[in-house]
Structure 1
Amino acid sequence: MEQLTKNDLEALRTRLLFDIEQILNRKGSSPEFEWFRSKAIRKLMDISPATVQNIRIAGKIRYKKIMGSYYYNKTDLMKLFSDEK
């Protein structure tokens, strides 16, 4: 069994930080995939929780459920509401 040294752990930390930074930089370069929680969408669009739920249930927008919280695609919502006007 091989033992880990402080240098090994420091190298791992450096690599993880680099990888996280790369992921965050890639994420910032594609604004069409912005996801927001229900509360942020309700505030941004000035709509009620029931409206967000009805839109989700009707399948009009993409959403993700992560650990009990719903996340909605901002682009889908903006497009939906601009089409209705």
Structure 2
Amino acid sequence: MLSQRTDESTAKQWLRSAEVRKMLGISPGTLQNLRVNGTLPYRKIGGSMFYARQDIERMMKGGSVNG
């Protein structure tokens, strides 16, 4: 039963900064700019930043992330 899961259901929903930078091929400064200007929403838990995979995908498709 577990082996029948789809890739989408097993994909992580929340990504850390390093994973997002690698996925998008961007520098830490570029990721910070995306956070600061509100292009990419994030959650800070403790000292770590987390990003929702669906927000990243929506941003890459050119859709509005915040609305």
TM-score, normalised via structure 2 length? 0.67
Decide which structure has the larger Cα Rg and report it.
1
State the Cα deviation string for residues 38-69 of structure 1 (Å, max 9, x = none): 00011111111111110111112221111111
User: In the alignment, what sits opposite 1:37?
Assistant: 16
Q: Is the 8 A contact 1:61 1:73 kept in 2?
A: no
TM-score, normalised via structure 1 length? 0.55
Residue 57 of structure 2 aligns to a residue whose secondary structure is: helix
Q: How many residues align?
A: 54
Aligned-pair identity in percent equals: 39
Corresponding residue to 2:44 among 53, 65, 81: 65
Structure having greater relative contact order (Cα 8 Å, sep ≥ 6):
2
- Extract unaligned runs of 5+ from structure 1: 1-28
The amino acid of 2:17's aligned partner reads S
- After superposition, the CA RMSD in angstroms is 2.1
Which ranges of 4 or more aligned residues in structure 1 deviate by more than 6 Å? Answer: none
